[in-house]
Amino acid sequence: MSRVRFPRALSAILLLMLAGTTPADDGRQSHDATPGTRGTHIKTAVQRGLVVLQRGAREYPSHQTCFACHHQTLPLLAMKYARDAGIAIDESLFQSQRKFTRESFTERRERLAMGKQIGGQAATASYGLWTLALSDEKADELTEAMTSYLLRIQREDGSWKPPSNRPPLEFSSVSCTVLSALGIQRFGSASQQEQISIAIDRAKSWLATAALEDQEDLNFALWGGVLLGGAQERQADLRDRILAARQADGGWSQKPSMNSDAYATGQTLFILMETGVDSSEAVIREGLSYLTDSQLEDGSWHVVTRSKPIQPWFDNGDPHDKDQFISIAATGWATAALARSQRVVAAVK
């Protein structure tokens, strides 16, 4: 893969940006960033992140019977890419989370097939299909019902919208639209193909002009453009905007007004690498250093929640108390990005 060249002006822009970290520095790891030790530090960081993620995923079904993107999808994302990088994971847990996801949606299969509302709506269904894709599931009656549901609830403008305002994980219509479009593309049955083709074209048209406010919007607009076949000029512009949003500490923030954190940084790095930026590029190396330096002693990354709870809080045994769900999600993205940087094969769709 050819190296990506960045504009000289980018360095000057980055020097003008304010540095920021979330949360406080207490408990963070400090790592030597020399090339000879980088791979070892990254592997260690992945292994420590997996401890947190696997424990959280293992405990979650003892508290809740319904699928959750923060405790199924993102831990499985990190586990899959760790495994791809040759790092050991708990294979039995991976399979049990696949089974838990299937059972959660199987209970609602009839409702899904009829287009009746389910909790979390498009966000839940799209993350569910992504989880099944990460598990290498094949299309069947369940995924056909989930696809049918998403086809029925696509909005007139071509987008899919999250059901609530819970940033950053359940807030962006862009990420919801990209994941929904990718899900129906991956799992649609033969009889659904005509509908799917129309739905994806409508989604692409909406994405081409969608307002992009937060970092998640930018990231998923780029990812969707690459995987769904958007215009090359649009992809180049999005990549430039993502690179320009990097902060002086090497990380990214959820919003321009916020400091860098592991959720935004991990997601950004993962998607940049998946869309063609080589892991050897300086922008990736510095972002990975931000993640390894900000990982806490327990293996997690702490991100403070911005969402008002809509369900009774329960203690899953995860770090960071009332910030446990967003911090687990951040730990998932960060661990996945670090693991992705260790792969030597081409990106997979």
Q: Which residues contact 266 (CB under 8 A, 6 or more apart)?
A: 291, 301, 330, 332, 333, 334, 335, 336, 337, 338
188-213 residues labelled b (16+ CB within 10 A) or e (exposed): beeebeebbeebbebbbebbeebebe
C-alpha span between 294 and 249 (Å, rounded): 11
Q: Encoding tokens for residue 185? A: 């593309």
In the chain the first and final C-alpha atoms are separated, in Å, by: 17
Lowest average pLDDT, out of 13-17, 125-129, 273-277, 336-340, goes to 13-17
pTM for the full model?
Answer: 0.87
CA atoms within 13 A on the CB side of 158: 16
pLDDT interval class at 213 (50, 70, 90): very high
CA distance 66 to 180: 19
Q: So where are the chain's domains?
A: 8-340
Residue range 267-276: mean pLDDT, rounded? 98
236 band by pLDDT with thresholds 50, 70 and 90: very high
Identify which has the larger pLDDT, 308 or 177.
177
CATH of domain 8-340: 1.50.10.20
DSSP state of 347: P
Closest CA to 160 of 185, 181, 136, 131: 181
> Which helix (H) or strand (E) covers residue 219, if one does?
helix 215-228
CB 239 within 8 A of CB 222: yes
Angle in degrees, CA 201, 203, 207, rounded to 5? 115
C-alpha atoms less than 13 angstroms from C-alpha of 117 in its C-beta half-sphere: 4
Q: Which of 196, 194, 63 is nearest to 129 (CA)?
A: 196
